[in-house]
Chain A
Amino acid sequence: MKRARLGTLLGTLALAFAGDPLPAWGKSGWDELNMPRGVTNVSTRIYALHMMAFWVCVGIAVVVFGVMIWSLIFHRKARGAVPDVSLTHSTKVEIVWTTVPVLILIGMAAPAARLLVRINNNTDPQLNIRVTGFQWGWRYQYLGSNVSIISKLSASSAAASMMHSGISPTSVPHYLLSVDHPLVVPVGEKIRLLITSIDVIHSWWVPDLGVKRDAIPGFLNDASFTIAPDKTGTYRGQCTELCGRGHAYMPIVVHAVTPAAFEAWLKQQSALQSEAATHPPTTAATSG
Chain B
Amino acid sequence: MAESHATAVHAEHDHKPHGWRRWVFATNHKDIGTMYLILSGVMFFIGGTAAMVIRAQLFKSGMKLVDPEVFNSLTTLHGLIMIFGAIMPAWVGLGNWMIPMQVGAPDMALPRLNNLSFWILPFAFTLLVGSFFVPGGSIAGGWYMYPPLLQQFGAAFPMTIFAIHLMGISSILGAINIIVTIMNLRAPGMSLLRMPLFVWTWLITAYLLIAVMPVLAGAVTMQLTDHYFGTSFFNAAGGGDPVLFLHLFWFFGHPEVYILILPAFGIISEVIPTFARKPLFGYDAMVYATASIAFLSFIVWGHHMFTVGLPVAAQMFFMLSTMLIAVPTGVKVFNWVATMWRGSMSFEPPMLFAIAFVFLFSIGGFSGLMLALVPSDYQYHGTYFVVAHFHYVLVPGAVFAIFAGIYYWLPKWSGRMYDMRLAKWHFWLSAIFVNVLFFPMHFLGLAGMPRRVADYAPQFTDWNMVASIGGFIFGASQLLLPYIVWKCVRSGKPIEANSPWEGARGLEWELPSPAPYHSWQSPPGEAVLAHADKH
Contact = CB atoms under 8 A, between A and B. Distances in A.
Interface string B35-78: 00000000000000000000000011111110111001000000
B334 A81 contact: no
A60 interface: yes
B447 to A, nearest CB: 4
B379 A112 contact: no
A240 B326 contact: no
B366 A60 contact: yes
Given A53-B369, A64-B334, A85-B279, A26 B308 contact: no
Contact of A113 (B316, B326, B343, B443): B316
B344 A247 contact: no
Given A112-B376, A116-B375, A54 B450 contact: no
Contact of A242 (B141, B240, B277, B285): B141
Interface string A152-176: 0000000011011101111000111
Interface in B357-409: 358-359, 362-363, 366, 369-370, 373-376, 378-379, 381-383
B309 A87 contact: no
B458 A175 contact: yes
Contacts of A26: 457-459
A164 B64 contact: yes
B152 A218 contact: no
Contacts of A14: none
Contacts of A83: 276-278, 342-344
B375 A81 contact: no
Nearest to B333: A64
B458 A23 contact: yes
A53 to B, nearest CB: 5
A108 B379 CA distance: 17
A17 B308 CA distance: 38
Contacts of A34: 443, 446-447
Interface in A1-33: 13, 16-17, 19-20, 23-30, 32-33
Contacts of B327: 98, 101-102, 105
A106 to B, nearest CB: 9
A53 B459 CA distance: 26
A87 B338 contact: yes
Interface string A97-112: 1100110010011001
A92 interface: no
A170 to B, nearest CB: 5
A71 interface: yes
B54 to A, nearest CB: 13
B243 interface: yes
Contact of B72 (A19, A24, A170, A244): A244
Contacts of B383: 240
A209 B363 CA distance: 28
Given A75-B340, A77-B344, A87-B338, A16 B65 contact: yes
A108 B323 contact: yes
Contacts of A203: 307, 381-382
Contacts of A245: 67-69, 72, 140
B149 A242 contact: yes
B341 to A, nearest CB: 5
Nearest to A74: B342
Contacts of A24: 458
Contact of A240 (B60, B148, B370, B450): B450
Interface string B214-246: 000000000000000000000011001111000
Given A64-B362, A65-B359, A217-B242, A117 B61 contact: no
B283 A214 contact: no
A122 B378 CA distance: 16
A98 B376 contact: no
Interface in B280-326: 280-285, 307-309, 312, 315-316, 319-320, 323-324, 326
B340 A72 contact: yes
A147 interface: no
A93 interface: yes
A177 B457 contact: yes
A203 B280 CA distance: 46
A68 B48 CA distance: 32
A189 interface: no
Contacts of A28: 459, 462
Nearest to A78: B346
A248 B340 contact: no
Contacts of B523: none
Interface in A199-222: 199-201, 203, 205, 207, 210-214, 216-219, 221-222
A113 B319 contact: yes
B278 A97 contact: no
Contact of B149 (A105, A201, A205, A219): A201
Given A32-B448, A163-B64, A245-B140, 5 more contacts: A16-B65, A83-B276, A88-B280, A94-B282, A242-B452
Interface of B: 59-65, 67-69, 72, 140-142, 146, 148-149, 152, 236-237, 240-243, 276-285, 307-309, 312, 315-316, 319-320, 323-324, 326-327, 330-331, 333-334, 337-338, 340-346, 355, 358-359, 362-363, 366, 369-370, 373-376, 378-379, 381-383, 443-444, 446-448, 450-463, 535
